[in-house]
Amino acid sequence: MHLVILGCGVSGLSCGVRLLEAGHSVELWARELPPHTTSDIAAAVWYPYRAFPQDRVTAWSRRTFEELCVLAGQPETGVLRVLGLELLREHAPDPWWRPCVPDFRRASPAELLPGYVDGYVFEAPVIDMPRYLPYLLARFRRLGGTVLQREVHSLDEAWTAAPLVINCTGLGSRSLLGDETLVPIRGEVLRVAPLPLERFLLDEDEARGMAYLIPRTTDCILGGTAEEGNASLAPDPAQAEAILARAARLLPAGTRIQVLQHLVGLRPGRPSVRLELERVAGRPVVHNYGHGGAGVTLSWGCAEEVTALVAQVASGADPLGSVKNPSSTGRTDGN
């Protein structure tokens, strides 16, 4: 089939690659292209953060973990396999995402930092987004995909160019579809010069203030924040100071931190990821948005499910026929 994908973040590009590999003809339309997408700001380490429902997220996360580990063997992708430590202030059972991670164990007392009583040690992909997104975009183009930078105000515009649309607009689906269940989850991070870290470090205690230190090839990302409902993209100097203070507690005393950039992004928060086929007046659209803080973590698993849904439409096995999906949320008429 000939398809139009809306959105050029990690979800749109991953879908584009898989759909081209499946033999479809694909155009990708987006208002912003790398390096100006929300995905460019991601830390990014594999971790299923603020994405639901758990059973589907587990399956998508596991599949993406596998694919990212394959890509880690190719230096041009910017993907590395890095050992990490998640620190806990209270004892807790194994996390729900434990089945996705082959190399997982409890931290030993010697590995814990002061103030922490438990932790998880696991190896996971760390993704250098300024390298990874250009890699995906180049791979998409090599496979024959075309990219058009344009802003879309309704699905009708895309349906004039292709019989099937793939909606990967993230937070943009709030205005595109009228999906008011989508909320921005504002995140601030600091890109800093390389630090003396052999592992990535995580402390997901939002009540006290989350902290994560993600070493990458030529820099390190310090985070972070998760302000639900805040859509401001203006960097907050007070948040930067708080991030630095939390990071300093996890680093050797006296470590100098050189800040290179202060970055702000908006995660597309939703009660559940919306990945489904919908028909409106007989015209099909596959939605793939609302990934919360786990867009990269779910990307390949979701892209493969999108490809399977497209195959149903292409084969005539679409179970929805011409009936609008009653479980969908929001308008899809572009009004």
pLDDT in tens, 239-288: 999 999 999 999 999 999 999 999 999 999 999 999 999 998 899 999 99
Is 3 inside any structural domain? Answer: no
> Is residue 225 in a domain?
yes
| Domain at 114, CATH number | 3.30.9.10
Rounded-to-10 torsion of CA 35, 39, 40, 41: 140
Beta bridge pairs of residue 287? 167, 276
Q: What is the residue range of 98's domain?
A: 79-126+183-268
Report the alpha-carbon distance of residue 218 to residue 233 in Å, rounded.
Answer: 25
Residue type, 86: E
- Please report where in the chains the tokens 């099937």 appear, as a residue: 164
Is the separation of the CB atoms in 255 and 264 below 8 Å? Answer: no
pLDDT tens, 56-101?
Answer: 999 999 999 999 999 999 999 999 999 999 999 999 999 999 999 9
Residue 324 pLDDT > 80: no
Centre a 10 Å sphere on the Cβ of residue 324 and count the other Cβ atoms it contains: 13
Q: How high does pLDDT run on average in the chain?
A: 93
Half-sphere exposure of 76 (CA within 13 A, CB side): 6
Q: Is residue 150 part of a domain?
A: no
User: Does the pLDDT of residue 325 top 80, yes or no?
Assistant: no
Q: Tell me phi and psi for residue 207, to 5 degrees.
A: -65, -40
- Tally of domains in the chain: 1
For 111-164, the pLDDT digits (tens) are 999 999 999 999 999 999 999 999 999 999 999 999 999 999 999 999 999 999
- Checking if the pLDDT of 23 tops 90, the result is yes
- Domain assignment of residue 304, yes or no: no
198 assigned to some structural domain: yes
Helix (H, G, I), strand (E, B) or coil at 156: helix
Sign of CA dihedral 326, 315, 16, 309: positive
Is there a domain that residue 9 lies in? no
